Amino acid sequence: MTHVDPPGGAALPRECRTGLPAWNKGELPAPHRRTWRDLLGPGIVMAGASLGAGEWLIGPAVTARYGGALLWITVLTLCAQYIYNVEASRYTLFTGESIMTGKLRLKPGSRFWTIVYAVVDFWSMLPYQLAGVAVTLAAVLLGRIPNPATETDLMRTLTYVVLILFPIPLIFGGTIYRMVKALVMVKVFYVLGFTLLVSFFLASWSDVREVALGFLSFGSLPAADGTVVNVFTQLQRGEPLPELDGASLQLVTALAAIAGVGGLTQSTICAYIREQGWGMGGKVGAIPSAVRGLDLELAHTGTVFSPTPTALERWRGWLRMVRLDQWLVWIPASLIGLALPALISLAVVPRGTIADRWVLAGMMAEGASSRVGGFIGDLLWHGMLLCGFLIFFPVVITTVDGFLRRWVDITWTSFGRFQKLDPQRVKWIYYGFLVAYLVMAGAFLSFANPLWLVIVSANVANVALGLSCLHTLVVNVRLLPPPLRPSWASRIALGVSGVYFLSMAGLTLTIALRS
């Protein structure tokens, strides 16, 4: 396809003309006065996506065995994800397009980048969260945590039931974003509120201190003898490093990938910015739901503005809103969401516990119930299981929704056949991808166990997000007008973030090859 700038369209930089339609021209709206409603914007949806397997599966599995000393890796991850969120949003504020579309606008072309991201994003379909939902349902049915040796068939059956049921909320609400936002708001307020209450009564001050210090214990790693060693302390003393535990290191790198949001799902921030109507996002529309979404549509290409003095003042206001949204909502909610399950794990799970692949999602409920006993113990049991359900079921929806949005954006903007479709028909592309996802997820569930799915998915996510960080840097430097480009400090930070995630994946690969 050759590039032709449409009448009135905004021309792309010459080195970036790879066949996608040129941008439309428009005017950047002024940012509205920030109200409490803005606290319930993209940040709260991303926070809901953050409360997932990292916080409820891998995090407690790590703290149950090693205490809070390894939680420092999550701080690095959240800092790197924050940088990516802001820089990916920068492109969306300018164009209304997802950062994934921006990547397709770079050479060697949209077909090349589509293949690259299809390879790395394929593993996002690994449905490890579904197993967490199945554990909570099985525990309610059985009145206890299921036995992985004798009840695997029950677990798989329930996992398939959840696979069939989870798409239902995506059908209603007018826009898919609106329904996802409503679900995660319920999830965030209940989960954080309940776990804070449980932590207050069950966790000791020593547990709180251990978790707090764990977030600051940079360089601590699991040793082969079951202890934790600090690399920097060992080097400072001139002592040789002990042998590290390869299997536990894989859990640490998985936690680095899953803490926060992780992987290409991180790019969903662009869709939330767009559908919240921030910046030029309000100029391109939204993906409508199948029910009550008849009047909505999504444009095939973005709309950009000229960087006039007035527009630049407004631009700085929108960027400020994005940063505040991250600092006031997403980062605090993510840190609290990591700290509270870790506190409960320290309080109720015996130190040194190595959790089985199926019982990870229910071990804190079992521990809290046993710790208290009686009627209150039963209440805690069901409350913790409800927490698990509200964590895993919505995160399945947000993860799948993120996957579908990425590929709807890619096909909707870069494939000639889809570019000719009525903008209101974008929802049928979305639901077509949803059906394909269900088939692929069902195939994975037929042969893989949940912990394997977590580790593989997490570490491929490290590769995907590392690549996406570096690619986003190139997009923002080449496609955005000079006044809108990131500062040198932001460019360096984004590049370092990409190297960080790629290093986590490289460490896992090295461990796997040596074992």
Render pLDDT for 32-90 as a digit per residue (tens, 0 to 9).
Answer: 776 655 566 787 777 776 666 556 767 777 787 888 888 898 899 999 999 999 999 99
5 part of a folded domain: no
pLDDT number for residue 290: 47
pLDDT number for residue 3: 39
Handedness of CA 15, 86, 404, 424 (dihedral sign): negative
Beta-carbon contacts of 432 under 8 Å, excluding residues fewer than 6 positions away, are: none
292 has pLDDT over 50: no
366 has pLDDT over 50: yes
pLDDT by residue (tens digit) across 306-353?
999 999 999 999 999 999 888 988 888 888 888 888 888 888 777 766
Number of folded domains in the chain? Answer: 1
Backbone angle region of 374, left / alpha / beta, with phi > 0 → left and psi within -120 to 50 → alpha: left
- Determine the Cα–Cα distance for residues 280 and 278; give it in Å rounded to an integer: 6
Q: Which residue has the higher pLDDT, 473 or 197?
A: 473
The CATH number of the domain where 263 resides is what?
A: 1.20.1740.10
pLDDT band at 239 (very low <50, low <70, confident <90, very high): confident
Residue 278 and residue 37 in contact, taking contact as beta carbons nearer than 8 Å: no
- Determine the Cα–Cα distance for residues 349 and 365; give it in Å rounded to an integer: 10
pLDDT band at 294 (very low <50, low <70, confident <90, very high): very low
pLDDT band at 95 (very low <50, low <70, confident <90, very high): very high
What residue numbers bound the domain in which 152 lies? 14-514
401 part of a folded domain: yes
Burial class (CB in 10 A: 0-12, 13-18, 19+), 299: middle
8 part of a folded domain: no
6 part of a folded domain: no
319 part of a folded domain: yes
Beta-carbon contacts of 450 under 8 Å, excluding residues fewer than 6 positions away, are: 128, 131, 132, 357, 358, 360
pLDDT band at 124 (very low <50, low <70, confident <90, very high): low
46 part of a folded domain: yes
492 has pLDDT over 50: yes
- Determine the Cα–Cα distance for residues 399 and 320; give it in Å rounded to an integer: 27
2 part of a folded domain: no
Q: Which of 47-61, 287-301, 425-439 has the lowest mean pLDDT?
A: 287-301
Helices (H), 36-151: 42-50, 53, 59-66, 72-95, 99-104, 110-121, 128-142
Task: Give the number of other CB atoms < 10 A from CB of residue 203.
Answer: 21
Mean pLDDT (the chain, rounded): 78
- Give the rounded percent of residues in the chain with a pLDDT score beyond 70: 76
239 part of a folded domain: yes
Task: Give the number of other CB atoms < 10 A from CB of residue 420.
Answer: 8
